[in-house]
Amino acid sequence: MTDKAAPVDPRPIRTFGRVGGRSLSARQQALVEDLLPRLAVPEGLSDPRMLFPGAREVWLEIGFGGGEHLVEQARRHPEVGVIGCEPFIEGMAKALTGIEANGLTNVRLLMDDARPLVAALDEGCLDRVFILFPDPWRKKRQQKRRLIQPDFLASLYRACRKGARVRFATDVASYADEALGYFLGHGGFDWQAKSADDWRLAPADHVTTRYETKKLGDCAPVWFNFLAQ
């Protein structure tokens, strides 16, 4: 199924856990109040390229957690515009701290569910997408809350240009199996693995994330890299 069909319901069920947590430090609170509004993805955005005039590509990270990967990729690639989505305010505050500390001007942020944004984006406007260690929702009855679902992949595929790169990582075996099945079942995502090392070893350009270092999963991390075709 490679048709670029619009999804029916962009927000079918909540895929994330808590959005609030311990109180923020005064510095973090100030960043959320002052810097976040300046970097926020505008409501109703359809063409993300307008956020990054002159940028070579637009990348999207969904569920960036503490922002370690988002900030480092943006720092390494000033020629790229990077959008990060994360509903958890503490993670957002950490990312803002990194953005400010590195003086980054090529990041825009959404403190909310990424799915309605993806669904509203113009066809073919994303060049690269990272989904790293999404909430695993391990219990059988919770698995419907996993981000990777056929409807979402249809929506993501539509927003990706032909040749866009999509990376998914998890350390939960049942999620790895399920997600790979959904990506391949969609038909528009070409799995780039040629040997087992291609999914067993972290890609050379990967930046280790906080969640990854916790090793909470039931398997070693797996890395699935796809090309939208």
Ligand X SMILES: C[S@@+](CC[C@H](N)C(=O)[O-])C[C@H]1O[C@@H](n2cnc3c(N)ncnc32)[C@H](O)[C@@H]1O
User: Is the separation of the CB atoms in 59 and 80 below 8 Å?
Assistant: yes
Query: According to CB under 6 A, which one of 10, 16, 72, 77 is a site residue for ligand X?
Result: 16
Query: According to CB under 6 A, which one of 52, 59, 64, 224 is a site residue for ligand X?
Result: 64
List the beta bridge partners of residue 132: 169
Q: Tell me if 59 contacts ligand X by CB under 6 A.
A: no
CB within 8 Å of 118: residues ≥ 6 apart: 10, 60, 62, 152, 155, 156, 159
Strand order in the sheet with 160-170: 107-110, 80-85, 57-62, 126-132, 160-170, 222-228, 189-191
Start-to-end C-alpha separation, the chain: 12
List the beta bridge partners of residue 170: 222
Q: Tell me if 106 contacts ligand X by CB under 6 A.
A: no
Could you tell me how many helices (H) and strands (E) the chain has, helices first?
A: 9, 7
Q: Tell me if 171 contacts ligand X by CB under 6 A.
A: no
Q: Tell me if 85 contacts ligand X by CB under 6 A.
A: yes
Query: According to CB under 6 A, which one of 31, 113, 137, 228 is a site residue for ligand X?
Result: 113
Query: According to CB under 6 A, which one of 59, 211, 224, 226 is a site residue for ligand X?
Result: 211
Q: Please tell me the distance from the alpha carbon of residue 177 to that of residue 52, in angstroms, as a whole number.
A: 36
Query: According to CB under 6 A, which one of 147, 148, 172, 222 is a site residue for ligand X?
Result: 147
Q: Tell me if 91 contacts ligand X by CB under 6 A.
A: yes
Applying CB under 6 A, the span of 61-69, 121-129, 158-166, 188-196 interacting with ligand X comes to 61-69
Out of 113, 127, 135, 171, pick the active-site residue. 135
Q: Please tell me the distance from the alpha carbon of residue 148 to that of residue 141, in angstroms, as a whole number.
A: 15
Q: Tell me if 217 contacts ligand X by CB under 6 A.
A: no
Residue 106 or 155 with smaller CB distance to ligand X:
155
Applying CB under 6 A, the span of 30-38, 96-104, 109-117, 198-206 interacting with ligand X comes to 109-117
Q: Which two tokens stand for residue 212?
A: 């990854």
Q: Which residues bind ligand X (CB under 6 A)?
A: 15-16, 62-65, 85-88, 91, 113-115, 132-135, 147, 209-212
Which are the catalytic amino acids? Answer: 135
